[in-house]
Amino acid sequence: MEDYIRVTGVGGGTVQLAMSENAADAVWHILAELDSVLAEARQDPPPRRLRLPDKRLFPDAYDSAAENAAFRERHGTRMREELGAALERVLEAWPEQPWLTLDSAAVRDWMVVLAHAQTSYLRKPRWRASVGTSKRDNDVKVAWLRTLQACVAAATLAPPGMPVVLDV
Amino acid sequence: MSAGGKWIVEIHNDEVNTYAGVALIAHRLLGLPQDQGYELAADLHHSESVELTPRPGPEAERLVADLQVFGLHATLREA
């Protein structure tokens, strides 16, 4: 049977997400892997080298190194916590059956998580990466995550009832 | 960042954020109507970056942080 992800807007920023079992399994494993990598920073003490340090997750906001350091000091913890909290909510709400309804807040969580989930599979920071330059398996995962994110976004903005389908 | 003055938030084009994704983020974070969100995404797709209306430093920083949490490449510079 063909694998698919179908996202349909129902209005008010809510979408319905339906996945084949294989597709749901693949998404789950990618997100669980991201959760495992992000959990490193919450260990006490954290490992000396995080696989996803802030500089891999978030670009420099300024040209100046000093201003960047100050920016990360002011906002870095909150930004990483928001990503972690969004991922936790997505995983906690994971359904037993491969379909679920995402309200406006859940759409936001999925958008955040699907963007950052790509980072582990790219050789360069995400904002400098070219598509198609990683190992083949990783390229497939990145392309998949990008397309799923685009489907969620397009369905959220589309008129209710218009499905956006990703054939896997 | 100096406390006074206005700062420009710049969103940079990249190869990983999609047209629909940028449009939705512009709609939700910047409060743009959907059609203007798509216009911003189109402008970004056809250029290196788009600049947002200058705003006070703390507000601009907060917006850049929020855009980056959504995965966009957003930066700041003094107006």
Q: How far is B5 from chain A (nearest CA, A)?
A: 16
Cα–Cα distance, A74 to A134 (Å, whole number)? 33
pTM of the entire structure? 0.92
Displacement of CA A146 from its chain's centroid (Å): 9
Q: Which residues contact A101 (CB under 8 A, 6 or more apart)?
A: A10, A14, A15, A16, A17
Q: Is A83 exposed, middle or buried (0-12, 13-18, 19+ CB in 10 A)?
A: buried
B47 touches chain A (CB under 8 A): no
- At residue A8, the 3 state secondary structure works out as strand
Among A15-29, A76-90, A115-129, the range of highest mean pLDDT: A76-90
* Cβ-based contacts of A58 with chain B (< 8 Å): 68-69
Q: Is the dihedral of CA A122, B21, A140, A37 positive or negative?
A: positive
Bigger pLDDT: A95 or B26? B26
- Residue pLDDT, tens place only, B17-42: 899 999 999 999 999 999 999 999 99
Cβ atoms A155, A8 nearer than 8 A: yes
Q: Give pLDDT, residue A57.
A: 95
Assess contact for A37 and A80: CB atoms under 8 A: no
- Phi and psi, residue A20, nearest 5°: -70, 160
Task: With a cut of 80, say whether residue A150 has pLDDT above it.
Answer: yes
Joined together, the tokens standing for residue A104 give: 């406006």
Exposure of A54 by Cβ count < 10 A (0-12 exposed, 13-18 middle, 19+ buried)? Answer: middle
Residue A20 buriedness (CB in 10 A; 0-12 / 13-18 / 19+): middle
Listed in order, strand segments (DSSP E) in A38-131 are: 99-102
B78 touches chain A (CB under 8 A): no
Inform me whether the pLDDT recorded for A1 exceeds 80: no
Query: Where is A30: in which H helix or E strand?
Result: helix A21-39
Find the chain A residues whose C-beta atoms sit closer than 8 A to any C-beta of B.
58-63, 67, 70-71, 74-75, 78-79, 82-83, 107-108, 111-112, 115-116, 118, 122, 126-131, 142, 146-147, 149-151, 153-154, 156-157
Q: Does residue A45 have a cis peptide bond before it, meaning omega lies within 30 degrees of 0? A: yes
- Whether the CB-CB separation of A49 and A41 falls below 8 Å is answered with no
CA dist., res. B61 & res. B79, Å (int): 13
d(CA B16, CA A117): 12
ipTM above 0.85, yes or no: yes
Q: Average of pLDDT values for B48-77?
A: 96
Candidates A60, A157, A166: best to mutate against B (most CBs of B within 10 A) is: A157
pLDDT tens column, A25-56: 989 999 999 999 999 988 888 888 888 899 99
Determine whether the interchain pair A157/B19 forms a contact, defined as Cβ–Cβ distance below 8 Å: no
